[in-house]
Structure 1
């Protein structure tokens, strides 16, 4: 008789996970040791396991072999395709028993449930702040430390938390794992996706008292107000140039970098920014993704669409009666 218990006889002494082969256990131990011996020869990013490196490599090749059978969209990773398919099915099988809110992914439900319980039984011994989860407390404890020992290999920016540098690295690698379930737009960071979702809600209750421009978030209004006040709060430490917004400074910092890691597969031209490469590729493919919602005219670049949109606004306001 086949004995399942005898199959996995090699156990990890740290986390208790079991394996059926000694070699698999040895590979697993690299996760706990932190040793990253599998290095990408293109960008230098290192991984603890070979399969993680293999998953990373398609970023540089641009190969997207996972194709949606419904709309034809292609993706580098199978996981990205699976998340995209939810757009078509809109299946939300995991529902909250308290409020009825449903989620398409099982992992989202436990996080949501904490909003109802409000239990925060883990306290910081320094400031007294409480947290619902151990990992949240551990992450918070680093905020009391002045050490920034986690450094970005591309631009040299330092962080207190390893998760922060990992999240920051997505800016350089171009990986966009957070996909909008409504329209399919992808983002490198979860908070960027959350901000994007307000577009679909279309509630713009934060209004500028000077020009009347409305925003879905108060933070966006605060950033907008700097345009009127002229306050430049973000300065480049290398050249001293000032910027109104942090995003502008982060984008500017790549000017000082000599790395151009985003390469065009058609002509070989390299770019420092993923968005610059995307814009450049449109010259080869002729694809025009930015479409005017009023007249249907399409453009290669978003700035061209924004400039075109002004023609519709002026057309409706130019000849208004002053009386």
Structure 2
């Protein structure tokens, strides 16, 4: 049955699952008996209630050591009591069933031992997230030998379980007369013995309930409510794991809020500046007041229970505060009710600890340089004088050929000025190094800005690099604070907020959605073409334009109209022609009722007819014309060779109109003459 949802399950998995269901049911029964709650929160409570009459037999049921107890229990309830019931500290008789699994656990622990960055606080890589994540990937690969679908979170849970069991066994050996441990992997984990005092600082998911218990045990006389404890916990906890304070029961929610409100009225328990904060006798009396309230829901509760509950609420509050920040909001129902704790110095310490941890995670070692600090300053100042290499608002910035020319000039000038003999590749590396330094300083500055801390550059000559901040990562959106690692992606994201085009031409203000189209457009403006025709040497901006131009020489017209049979060299002419068949001109004149199929024709119409502008000047005779077409026809008069030839008498004419009039003297027309020549074999 279990394999319907867990295809790879075996008998031990089934036994684990049944044991989990049974233990959760027993806890729910106990909770209902010791509180005033009437409705169970466990969804399968009624289905498993047949065990109610079997209470005595329950304690004698066979248990299978749960090698993955946290994976199952975390889905349905906290894991403390389940750990006690389904423990890995079982007798040798029960453990023989899982000899192979025991062997795997020992191998798993041995692998963990070889990765000290995961457990040794004195290791240099302990606070390096990237290295730790790589090591967790190694652990996950091993763990998938028995749990094929396991993820890194499952690995962290498993490690936390093994560590918790080891610590409990170690404590039991110290407080009892037993000499031999019963935990079969106790010796394998002895490498943690010297790390015992710092065991709570480990990176795997911390057991919040276990932390609460430890806090209670360590403060039987007086719970230490100082801010340092809260800060310490926030510093330790990297992944938030909520406890039973996140209940969905409305009655219990209301009770917790009332308990917090009562706690707020007793400042000697939480406000360090209160005069009576260090008065232990008064604080005990105030805990008795809280206990009276707590017994309304839990009649059999003791003082240590209410202390544990308050400490748990405080711990979760500070953890959540660290996660959302000082100005953030939380969906935890009692988060706002505990906001009075923000008045403590704890908040400042939380921010300081968080800031220090963030700053420490940004470890940066600049690449080695062949230049000294003074030469780096000179290079930075010279680099600033060539904006086409770094300023995206400069038109030449998007042209590879222009940037290469600029780099050649910078290379020669820098070597001459500093007396260096750097190759161009070495100069590129030096520039890349300066950009990396600037990027690192930008990250640090933004981090300090978020935490309201004064920014102090770590690079001695950073003021000479500050101009590069506009062109180095990270790029942060001022609206939603999203971070992009590419300038073009950043511009596209900014445009998504207002629906504008991300790339706008600084000359004509035309917008583009793609940076490649924008670059081609800029090339047309400055006539910086990188392709040329091999026949006529005409310069063209793209390979597409070059292919279209070559059809002028080959006479190829691949775009054919299926309606009239006309053919065209390029798709734009063909598309314009197809609109003629629809008889729906798209471009209408703003001054008259005329409409045109081409935008450029409409613009010429407005200029020539309505504005009467003659801005096309002949460079030879200075005669002015309304359009480029008329100027081109006029220039044919000044041509040294008359290109229009009569096919009957061979006479030549400068313009088409002259040839057309001459042919009529032969008693025919150009159209008839062309048709006859076409029909000849």
TM-score by length of 1: 0.40
The higher radius of gyration belongs to 2
From the two aligned structures, give the one with the greater helix fraction: 2
TM-score by length of 2: 0.23
From the two aligned structures, give the one with the greater strand fraction: 1
